[in-house]
A = this chain, B = another copy of it.
Amino acid sequence: MSALDPSQVVAARARIAPHVLRTPLASSHTLSAMTGADVRLKCENLQKTGSFKARGALHRILGLSAAERRRGVLAASAGNHAQGVAYAAAIAGVKATVVMPTSAAIAKVEATRGYGADIVLAGADYAAAFRHAGELARRSRATLVHAFDDDEIIAGQGTVGLEILEDLPDVDVIVVPVGGGGLAAGIAAAVADAPARVIGVQAELASTLQPSLRAGRRVHARPGPTIADGLATPWRMMRGELLRAVTVGEAEIAAAILLLLERATLVVEGAAATTLAACLGPLRRLIAGRKVAVVLSGGNIDVNVLDRILNLGLAEQGRVFRFATVVTDRPGSLAALAAVIGEAGANIKHIQHDRGRLGVGVLETMVTVELETRGSGHVPGIIGRLRAAGYRILREDR
């Protein structure tokens, strides 16, 4: 692959502009204070289809010849690329068939179908779905639209970089999630003539980028299960364009998702949150005092995953407090415990009353309680009231 020219990204923009959102580059007082940089969020989670993928797919599909359009397009994806291709095909009036692995979330399948694509469920994982799409393409002569390994796709994704430069011409650093690498390569091409540095981020569990840059060749990895699942895909070479790459851990990604949700009212998926996580972690010194564009690449997070992240985050902030205590096993003793908790201003989420437990007396019952609190500053007061009322706190977990 030869690096793209900024002019190719400009041309892509002319083609796709009527059909994509020019997403906001939002400043954030809170996130700037937390990172010590002037942080701007490039909100591609608000893009059509919920991710930047619509840009590349539109550029590719709107560029098809009349004959190619008649034969339709094919793609394999479990998520954002599926929706991007389905949306772009609908705009272009082209028939789209999307192969999704059988494990794909029903919500994502329905969202893709909602744009008018035919859905084929095949293969246990992405690789198998991709092979199936290749076979279908050979038979039907439809055009297979690759998720990132395609110059037209990369030029389309690069329009994100053009918009950042227009809104913030003196941007110092652009932080981009790296999955296939199409977004990072495209942005690097778009800003090639500007002094801005482009820094790639991956989830530790899906990291192929750092080893590859270090080895000077493409290193494959079998990624573990990561929240940032959009990043758990092979890597596209971009040495020379991308100057640095960092990785972030799962807890940091979860914390960044919660932070964007609470303090920026934005829903982002794991891959998108890696960039903010990097600004709060490994990039902190590099970005200090600089103007930083943080690319939030998409917002299509599974609600089950988001629910787990909220619970982790609430526990981390002391807003869920779990403890065990022992009450005497007679009528009214649970009511008395609940009354003390209520007076302390906490809400009971779960309570478990467990008689006949080892280490607890015959006439006693172990009670495990999970509380909603107003924050970690609230917890010592709750503990104080419980102790003052004579309860032993056997285990605590905040």
Contact = CB atoms under 8 A, between A and B. Distances in A.
Interface of A: 21, 24, 26, 29-30, 33, 45-46, 48, 50, 87, 103-107, 110-111, 114-115, 258, 261-268, 298-300, 303-304, 306-307, 310-311, 313-314, 317, 319, 345, 372, 374-378
B103 A345 contact: yes
Q: Could you say which of A33, A111, A319, A374 has the most chain B C-beta atoms within 10 Å of its C-beta?
A: A374
Nearest to A260: B267
B33 A46 contact: no
A310 B307 contact: yes
A115 B306 contact: no
Contact of A261 (B30, B106, B267, B313): B267
A265 B26 contact: no
Contacts of A304: 314, 319, 372
The 5 closest A-B pairs by CB, nearest first: A265-B299, A106-B375, A265-B267, A45-B265, A106-B374
Contacts of A103: 345, 374
Contacts of A258: 303
A271 to B, nearest CB: 13
A106 B265 contact: no
A303 B307 contact: no
Contacts of A110: 375
Contacts of A107: 262, 317, 375
Nearest to A44: B265
